[in-house]
Structure 1
Amino acid sequence: MRYGVGAWPWYLLALVVIGLDQYSKGLASASLEYAQPVPVFSWFNLTLHHNTGAAFSFLSDAGGWQRYFFTGIAAVVSGLLVVWIYRLQRGQWLLALSLALVLGGAIGNVWDRLVLGYVVDFISVHYAGYYFPAFNLADSAITGGAIGMILDTFLGRPEGGTKED
């Protein structure tokens, strides 16, 4: 049996991710000075950055067309994720959870691109002078969702589960 209209809790989770992401970005934008790190731990700073590119600032200096390109890709992927979640078999909770996290993260970043023209990043992790590119809660949700999808692939279907469940 498919989730169908019973997929609403997963869509609600995606909305919660979007809400938390937008709230945290709003706090960061209101509280932090651009590119001025605020140390939290020896390996963790809050540092406001505006990313006009994709992951790791890929194509951030491409001249502006990338805003619409990445928005279009994310919009299409988000639409596909909505349908995928709807069509999932009941019992595929890990895959549904993972897809909901990716959906919420993708929409959170798309919202920034549409409204601001860039994605707000503010989480900075570093060690021994090496800095991981700044990111946000949406990026974290997307990463967690991707990890969940990989785990779901290895864990497989529940025992006795079939494609017709």
Structure 2
Amino acid sequence: MEKQWYTISVYSENNVGLLNRISGIFLKRHINIESLNVSKSEIENVSKFTIVVVAPEEWVRKIVGQIEKQVEVIKAYYHTDDETIYQESALFKIASDLLFDERQIQNIIKESNSQIVTVARDFFVLAKTGRRHEIDQMHDALEPYGIKQFVRSGRIAVSKASMPITSILEEFQNQ
């Protein structure tokens, strides 16, 4: 069974405990969640979970079926990376003196299309938005200079193909 990256989109009511039950489904199958993001969706009072995993398609299909059995879940989908448009964000906290003393830091900022978010006496913060490998490359480039803090967001994604979720959600909302 060939493993690959999948983005699972779950549309649900926003109820306490659902995230715990969904993560339990992955735990039972010993599948690590690589990324998780929860936000409101395009329909009022409906949340969207974006979950990224590396697993065989057969397992992902079964997991999506189990997720859909949760009472609050309206619909769940899964897509490969080629079927989605996605981004992640990251923040890097670096010692301020490096910004002025290390010319290579300025080159990394320019080449990575990152932004300086803030500059303080002791540190500055860079923001980078892009694909996972782009953030990893920037991390690897900055690591020799010393990263004081690093944080990465979960993936946000939309499918390239149209999904019938809007009509499903509108029916749900009109009930």
Q: TM-score, normalized by length of structure 1?
A: 0.26
The structure number with the bigger radius of gyration is 2
Structure with the largest fraction of helix? 1
The higher relative CO (CA closer than 8 Å, separation ≥ 6) is in 1
